[in-house]
Amino acid sequence: MTTWAAGYVTDIEYTSHFYRETSPLHLNYAIQLQGFRAPSIGEGTTYCELACGQGLGTNILAAANPQVKFWGVDFNPAHIDNARRLAAAASLQNVTYLDNSFEQLITQPPGNLPQFDYIVLHGIYSWISEENRRYIVRFIDRHLKPGGVTYVSYNCLPGWSATAPLQRLVREYATRHPDRSDHQVEAAFNFAKQVIEAKAGYFQQNPVVTKRIEKLPMNNKHYLAHEYLNGHWHPLYHLDVAAEMSDARLSYVSSATLVENLDRVSIPGGMIDIVRNSRDTGWAETLRDYARNQQFRRDIFMRGATRVMGPEQGDRLGGTRLALVVPHSAIKYEIPTSLGEIKADPATSKPILDALAEGPRMIRELAALPALQGIASGTVVGTVALLVHSGQVHPVQAIGSAKQTAPGRALNRAIVGRLMSGELLTYLAMPAAGTGTRATFPELLLLDSLQDGGPFDPAKMAMASWAKMERTGRRLVRDGKRVETKEENVALLQKEFANLSGTLVPLWKSVGMV
């Protein structure tokens, strides 16, 4: 562990992920749903991600929102180098990366950094020291515009209470067995399993912890090392986070996890009146956390949050443009919530999804659909929120020109290009939606083939993809097993490409990816 790391894992790099909740369009939608005025997104909009890691998320948002200026900050030089190389490969002109600690950020000379409309940080807030949290709050206080947005997600209490001793057990074992962090975390969890098998009372009385270990993604040891081995690991109560953010003159406005703003589908019925009778927002959110036994929060704070009243609120929300971001054939009416899976009412959701399958629509246009006449506008708005929460629908911006979609396509080419160096990045930019989307290995190969141009020929495309797989040693997986032969891989790819030609490819075209 290096001395500059301040207890943070740095000997192995963090995993590359994208979180759709960090998109400016998603944040604005969540804010407007709660009746607050969101920032405008256009030329001059500024966005900063603190602890941006490998920069994949920042690069995706920069490519999908070329009118916005982005800054990504991380104190790990390897992360920043990787982020810059990916941005350079895509020729992104609207993103800047800084190799700074939080302390260094607040000592930047005046004028070096702009005022930001959005400052986001995902996950890091509960992994760092109290001193570093103070640096973050000072940075927000200094650099967030009036009316600006801060997104902060973090491990929270009371949900982590039962599991916290597991983190301590894993970390203490790792400190006593020095090695590279991914090796340490694997050995530590194997030791934890020995303790479970020995019938230790803690695990006997907390079976939920044993189940958590069974479900952990042991194939991704880099994630586990960062989650469990950091020297500063502090799950936080929402009330305490809100109190710290108040030092930067911020107030809580919404959860970026949209379903958590809908009590009827996110907390037990008996808790609804208890929450509604609470005296302040912070207390209400804390009660909701107890109701859900919440483990992770995605909070949206604003500086100078102002409510939009009456008709103006309806006009702003009604003017939100939405699009389907999954193939129509892949639509699911079952939507996960903290209370379990609920089914969206087909009478309301099906007409909405069918209309969006034809192209983007504003919420007011959806409410005016003939099939929805007689249904209360609030029901339509609530159904749309559930569909956005499910990841099947997303706010979008109108595609004005090739200039708007070109950066996203360039980044996607760079992401696909990394396959040839053995790196698998499983997210792509969706320019029209101003966000990103997950992509499987075959889907990346398909996009690569489409970028080569020419007619859609699954057989030829499968053979071309195999040539690239052969050079990198990658293979497809079927039924959990690696497929080795050329014939099987090519046949599977050909079938997959043919299936995707009528489902995923039209969607990619609709959101400006191809």
Query: Which fold does the domain 3-158+233-303 belong to in CATH?
Result: Rossmann fold (3.40.50)
- Asked if residues 241 and 281 have their Cβ atoms less than 8 Å apart, the reply is no
pTM score of the predicted model: 0.92
> Regarding beta strands 250-255 and 144-155, do their DSSP bridges make them parallel or antiparallel, or are they unpaired?
unpaired
Containing 70, the helix (H) or strand (E) segment is strand 69-74
307 forms bridges with which residues in the sheet? 36
Confidence of residue 387 (pLDDT cuts 50, 70, 90): very high
DSSP, collapsed to helix, strand or coil, labels residue 148 as strand
Q: E-assigned strands of 361-462?
A: 361-362, 393-395, 427-430, 435-438
Q: How many Å apart are CA 47 and CA 153, to the nearest integer?
A: 16
Q: Which residues have CB under 8 Å from 55's CB, separation 6+?
A: 72, 74, 79, 80, 82, 83, 84, 86, 87, 97
| Residue 399 pLDDT | 64
Letter for the amino acid at 289? Answer: D
Q: Is the pLDDT score of 508 beyond 60? A: yes
Dump the DSSP string for 407-428.
Answer: HHHHHHHHHHHGGGGT----EE
- Asked if residues 352 and 366 have their Cβ atoms less than 8 Å apart, the reply is yes
Q: Which residues have CB under 8 Å from 368's CB, separation 6+?
A: none
Which tens digits make up the pLDDT trace of 273-303? 999 999 899 999 999 999 999 999 999 999 9
Confidence of residue 498 (pLDDT cuts 50, 70, 90): very high
Structure-model confidence comparison of residues 249 and 108, the more confident one: 249
Q: Is the pLDDT score of 125 beyond 80? A: yes
Containing 335, the helix (H) or strand (E) segment is strand 334-337
The CA-CA-CA angle for residues 85, 117, 22, to 5°, reads 60
Residue with tokens 């609530």: 382
Among 363, 415, 338, which residue's Cα sits nearest to residue 54? Answer: 415
| Residue 283 pLDDT | 96
DSSP, collapsed to helix, strand or coil, labels residue 96 as strand
What six digits make up the tokens of 47?
A: 């966005």
Which tens digits make up the pLDDT trace of 170-185? 999 999 998 888 888 8
Q: How many Å apart are CA 266 and CA 248, to the nearest integer?
A: 30
| Residue 246 pLDDT | 97
What mean pLDDT comes out for the span 22-46? 95
Q: Is the pLDDT score of 2 beyond 60? A: no
Enumerate the CATH 3.40.50.150 domain ranges in the chain, comma separated: 3-158+233-303
| Residue 18 pLDDT | 94
| Residue 312 pLDDT | 82
